[in-house]
């Protein structure tokens, strides 16, 4: 079961990917997590990725494609995987599809979590992150037990630069220009499935499970 999660930044696809991964016992591969780990560790890749992410722009293809291809070749991906945040562009999708085809593999489902832009701007403005351990919260939907403090490690929570309204608007513009064409790409492959991401989180998950098991 090889799944690609589609949807604008803040549509909730990462949360859904985690739930799917847990239910089916397959790895959730988020390029965002990979980038953030590199940023925290101060690697060269992390420094490059940070400059793009802080401005609300996409990290260039050459920094991502090889990394993801190597990741899905690992033993824990034998039963499948969920890609979250990749591919972001048609060139990425084409290269990735070609690499899979060499092993007689393909993406089984591309699930598009649909949420209007105005909903996303409101959602992401409420996000809070722990820069120490990586835990994430939302002041409305998943609040920490103590306001402004991480439940896991007790560090201060912050509004990340890439969650600020002006950056979110830029990220959404970039998404619509560069990433939305992937919907047509996977539709042409017969892999696209769409779900209403404005529903309750559990209802979105139930809709995705129905897609995967029908």
Q: Which are the catalytic amino acids?
A: 13, 88, 127, 160, 171
Contact present, 124 and 97 (Cβ < 8 Å): no
Packing angle of the helix pair 13-24, 201-213 (nearest 10 deg): 50
Contact present, 168 and 56 (Cβ < 8 Å): yes
Contact present, 4 and 111 (Cβ < 8 Å): yes
Contact present, 84 and 30 (Cβ < 8 Å): yes
Backbone angle region of 56, left / alpha / beta, with phi > 0 → left and psi within -120 to 50 → alpha: left
């Amino acid at each position: 079961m090889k799944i690609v999660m589609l949807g604008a930044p803040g549509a909730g696809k990462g949360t859904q990917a985690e739930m799917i991964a847990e239910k089916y016992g397959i790895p959730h591969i988020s390029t965002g997590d990979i980038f953030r780990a590199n940023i925290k560790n101060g690697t060269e890749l992390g420094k490059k990725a940070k400059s793009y992410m802080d401005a609300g722009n996409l990290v260039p293809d050459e920094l991502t494609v090889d990394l993801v291809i190597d990741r899905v070749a690992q033993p824990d991906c034998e039963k499948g995987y969920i890609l979250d945040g990749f591919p972001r562009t048609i060139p990425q999708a084409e290269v990735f599809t070609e690499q899979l085809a060499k092993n007689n593999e393909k993406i089984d489902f591309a699930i598009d979590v649909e949420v209007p832009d105005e909903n996303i701007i409101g959602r992401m403005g409420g996000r809070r992150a722990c820069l120490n351990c990586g835990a994430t919260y939302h002041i409305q939907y998943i609040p920490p037990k103590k306001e402004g403090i991480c439940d896991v490690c007790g560090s201060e929570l912050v509004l990340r630069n890439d969650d600020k309204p002006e950056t979110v608007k830029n990220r959404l513009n970039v998404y619509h220009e560069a990433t939305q064409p992937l919907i047509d790409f996977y539709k042409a492959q017969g892999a696209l499935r769409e779900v209403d991401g404005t529903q309750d989180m559990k209802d979105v998950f139930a809709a995705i499970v129905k897609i995967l098991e029908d």
